[in-house]
Structure 1
């Protein structure tokens, strides 16, 4: 293993400078006590970073089917009938896939399975999904405004347009489900898009991708297509000093 040589000196302004020399590379760090030595070593080789403990909780705001028997968070929540498919939902709940303090490897992917419905008469199939972050731990399935989600901040509003899927033969309108108030009504068919929102934890600022078809719907030999992607500036969602 290649050895690192540490040099310490005092600059003209009186500040201590610690230099780490590796071959012909020299990194100068002011106030070295504020920088973990392990972080410096990772800076020299970022490709295969070690597992880290997440500094944030990550969650996606969803419209969840109303299931008070399964989710305690739904028992005191307000449920509404969706105009598109006629089923009962709790709107704007948050599914927290990873909580602060969880150990995650660099490049780890978090998948949110999403089902978005649209009235059959809709020409454009556009929607938005909201990604939230927090520096606290949270329980899933509670509505956004619930006390359980106190401290939550919007990290990214993801705009999606699924209109192009109408050109796909595998994308067809659906009949109302068994528990729909429109059950058996052929004139109440609707569009339903099943897709993944994937959060990729790389470095300080994670990135996201919206992929279709959803992972459970993939056929043998089929690959998902990325329809939207971007980066999330987590630092902007917190007070200074929190990553």
Structure 2
């Protein structure tokens, strides 16, 4: 596929094609906390608990609000890599990416989905400028002012404890990861934590997540929470 393809607005029918794939990479992006994990997908069914209608996949645990999905694109994240499904959410951006591995089975399913659900070819440059295909720590395109206060991002556990979990909840989606970390790297305020023997990883920005009134620099296993927009504005005003 040379150019990104916008898929038809029949998202639930599309989502229920995912159960046919081999395990895929689920990438979840939020400002200050993002993660990737390998997972199977099953059938999405209705989930109660919010005013908006939500659907949940029992295999991956991914929860989506169909009303908040603006578009889904088949978009190649790099040369010689199969296309990924990039989900564009209203007032948020590309918060979810589902990335098939390059296997004969997956490539056959991708071709079938492109044929059945393809709607329009779009310029790759437009999607890249808006954050499609971005890395875990490239969240500058996410959460404009209208939605900054509506995202709940939290982390519990530490690499030293041998277990770590993260959860991201937005009006458009909910997702979580739990893993046994084997590697941790720091680059300034950015922490990258990876599991052994797989793709699972978490990226944390200490400028966005806090422990109560503290900083991630003093993280000792207590739960990390997303800093609210008013906290960030207050700090900027004092610098």
TM-score (norm 1): 0.20
TM-score of the superposed pair, with normalisation by structure 2? 0.20
If each structure's helix is expressed as a fraction of its own residues, which one has the higher value?
2
Computing the radius of gyration from Cα coordinates, the structure with the larger value is 1
Quick one: higher RCO (CA 8 Å, sep 6+), 1 or 2?
2
